[in-house]
Amino acid sequence: MLKIFKIGGGIIDNQQELEQFLKTFSTIEGPKVLIHGGGKGASKMLNQLGIEPKMVDGRRITDKATLEVVTGLYAGNINKNIVSTLQKFGCNALGLSGADGNAIRGSKRSVKVIDYGFVGDLTENSINTKLFQLLIDQGITPIVCAITHDGNGLLLNTNADTIASTIAVALATKNEIELNFVFDKIGVLRDINDDSTLIPKINENLYLQLKEEGVIFEGMIPKLDNSFNVIKSGVKNVCLVHAQNINSDIKTILC
């Protein structure tokens, strides 16, 4: 089974937690891929440079100056620190932006109500599956940042969850795929403040029931909607798991 992991800002912003996660990640046997976002570092750096970060509904507006900053941070500092840490733990990793090896090609988001600037959208044909399969078959672990390109010299800031889901579906044509969204909870909880209420397995019927009961709400809805769409597109299962538990059975499995 090919295991794909996506980590977000909560882990990236905590150096100690990130290193512990990478140490555990390196011990997972078999082929694997890691996709990472950027955390709060981009907004911090923008403020230091006198550039006001702009967000709409949690999504970053990426103008030219912001694109330069996030590219340097995501594809440079964060990505290479992750790769070098994994090398320390004996995991042979290769850092990639979407432009490297034409790994991920997107298109600049069209302007509708909001102009998101240099933000990329993906399709099912965006992933260079031959490149990823070649690396995986050679025992190399791809470490993918949230920067893609359009094939015409333009880099694009792209949502890391979207990248992870699109890679998972693309590679599912030749692999049995488990997609893991790693975050700051142990999984889906009936009571968000009580870890003992973990729901270990959720199918689509139970998900609809939990939504109706208000157990799953707000920001979790689009993440789970997307997860079940990924499963319908050929991914075997999707896991929601805490960074400390990626090598254990403490998680929620969507199937």
Roughly what angle, to the nearest 10 degrees, separates helices 129-137 and 160-171?
Answer: 80
Both tokens of residue 223? 């993440």
Dihedral of the alpha carbons of 8, 204, 57, 127, in degrees to the nearest 10: 60
Answer with the residue of higher pLDDT: 41 or 228.
Answer: 228
Both tokens of residue 78? 């964060």
Which of the 8 DSSP states describes residue 56?
E
Which range, of 28-42, 43-57, 68-82, 196-210, averages the lowest pLDDT?
43-57
Question: What pLDDT is recorded for position 239?
Answer: 98
Which range, of 46-55, 76-85, 171-180, averages the lowest pLDDT?
46-55
Question: What pLDDT is recorded for position 57?
Answer: 77
* pLDDT class of 223 with cuts at 50, 70, 90: confident
How many Å apart are CA 211 and CA 236, to the nearest integer?
22
Both tokens of residue 110? 């069209």
Which range, of 14-23, 38-47, 87-96, 180-189, averages the lowest pLDDT?
38-47
Asked whether the beta carbons of 34 and 5 are under 8 A apart, the reply is: yes
Roughly what angle, to the nearest 10 degrees, separates helices 160-171 and 220-232?
Answer: 20
Question: What pLDDT is recorded for position 55?
Answer: 87
Question: What pLDDT is recorded for position 220?
Answer: 86
> CA of 90: how far to CAs of 29, 81, 199, in Å?
12, 14, 34
pLDDT, tens digit, 9 for 90 and up, residues 120-177: 999 989 999 999 999 999 999 999 999 999 999 999 999 999 999 999 999 999 999 9
How many Å apart are CA 255 and CA 138, to the nearest integer?
29
Half-sphere exposure of 232 (CA within 13 A, CB side): 8
Question: What pLDDT is recorded for position 134?
Answer: 98
How many Å apart are CA 246 and CA 22, to the nearest integer?
10
Closest CA to 33 of 77, 57, 78, 2: 2
Answer with the residue of higher pLDDT: 136 or 43.
Answer: 136
Q: How far apart are the first and last CA of the chain?
A: 15
Question: What pLDDT is recorded for position 143?
Answer: 98
Which range, of 15-29, 50-64, 81-95, averages the lowest pLDDT?
50-64
Question: What pLDDT is recorded for position 58?
Answer: 77
pLDDT of residue 5 exceeding 80, the answer is yes
pLDDT of residue 88 exceeding 80, the answer is yes
pLDDT of residue 231 exceeding 90, the answer is yes
Question: What pLDDT is recorded for position 8?
Answer: 87
Both tokens of residue 255? 């199937």
Both tokens of residue 144? 């993918």
pLDDT of residue 9 exceeding 80, the answer is yes
Answer with the residue of higher pLDDT: 75 or 39.
Answer: 75
Question: What pLDDT is recorded for position 199?
Answer: 97
Instruction: Calculate mean pLDDT across residues 222-231.
Output: 94
Residue that has been written with the tokens 């907004």 in this structure: 43
Sheet of 201-202, strand order? 93-96, 141-144, 32-36, 2-7, 177-183, 237-242, 252-254, 201-202
> CA of 158: how far to CAs of 29, 118, 145, in Å?
29, 9, 9
* pLDDT class of 59 with cuts at 50, 70, 90: confident
Which range, of 14-28, 125-139, 211-225, 240-254, averages the lowest pLDDT?
211-225
